[in-house]
Amino acid sequence: MTATDPRPLIEAKAVTRVLPGVVPTVLVREVSLTVTGPSFVAITGPSGSGKSSLLYLLGLLDLPTTGEVVVGGRATSAMDEPERAMIRLSTLGFVFQFHFLLPEFSALHNVMLPMRALAALSDGEMRVRAEGLLDSLGLSGHGHKRPDQLSGGQRQRVAVARALANDPPLILADEPTGSLDSKASEQVFTILRDLVDRRGKTVIAVTHDLDLAARMDRRIQLVDGAVAADTGARTAVA
């Protein structure tokens, strides 16, 4: 690190997650990493290597057994849940393999949900912002539809819009194209690539697709819950 490095968006410091049991299971093993933005970071590795577990820890959806996750310079392990929830809501956006949109709500209202939870905008402002996000993701005219009236690719783009609702600097995605056909997958990938290149976002995406990982800026490979390789950090090539 040099004095000119920007402040890291997120850091894992010797993060370990053990599931207790008669035979304890180590999901994540002494993982340390620093991500500064904007960057498109792949987390790769075999099935069961701890990719999702690590992403949940980075996303403050799970707590490390030992170690620390630092978001925007703030250590999070000693925070109470409301404080962690506030960081999730304002700083992090989540996209999962399956969209997890609320089935009874329209696309527009699904995108507005994180805005309502943060309660920083008026109802009219939320609606305008949600419409703008859907437009920017190629979903003009689809805002009134429920998830079951949309294609898989469209649903996943709504999920990306929802992740962007509160304009977080960091998007965490777990196999975001994993359930899509190749055309829809390419569309979603291009959207995430553009978020980094044009909007200055940082995206950390779990993928087992090595062709996609090759088109990201950095690849962190997990084996048995530990970092086996970490290549192509943007800071190294900038």
Ligand X SMILES: Nc1ncnc2c1ncn2[C@@H]1O[C@H](COP(=O)(O)OP(=O)(O)O)[C@@H](O)[C@H]1O
> Can you give the binding site for ligand X, defined by CB under 6 A?
19, 25, 27, 45, 47-53
Question: Is 207 a residue that touches Mg ion (CB under 5 A)?
Answer: no
Question: Is 52 a residue that touches Mg ion (CB under 5 A)?
Answer: yes
Query: Which one, 2 or 47, has the nearer CB to ligand X?
Result: 47
State the SS3 of the chain. Answer: CCCCCCCCCEEEEEEEEEECCCCCEEEEEEEEEEECCCCEEEEECCCCCCHHHHHHHHCCCCCCCEEEEEECCEECCCCCHHHHHHHHHHHEEEECCCCCCCCCCCHHHHHHHHHHHHCCCCHHHHHHHHHHHHHHCCCCCCCCCCHHHCCHHHHHHHHHHHHCCCCCCEEEEECCCCCCCHHHHHHHHHHHHHHHHCCCCEEEEECCCHHHHHCCCEEEEEECCEEEEEECCHHHHC
Contact segment (CB under 5 A) with Mg ion among 49-57, 131-139, 191-199, 216-224 equals 49-57
Report in angstroms how near the CB of residue 50 gets to Mg ion at its nearest: 8
Report in angstroms how near the CB of residue 195 gets to ligand X at its nearest: 22
Report in angstroms how near the CB of residue 206 gets to ligand X at its nearest: 6
Site size for Mg ion, by CB under 5 A? Answer: 2
Question: Is 49 a residue that touches Mg ion (CB under 5 A)?
Answer: no
45 binds, among Mg ion, ligand X, none (CB under 5 to 8 A by kind): ligand X
Report in angstroms how near the CB of residue 172 gets to ligand X at its nearest: 13
Query: Which one, 114 or 176, has the nearer CB to Mg ion?
Result: 176
Give me the residues that bind Mg ion (CB under 5 A), please: 51-52
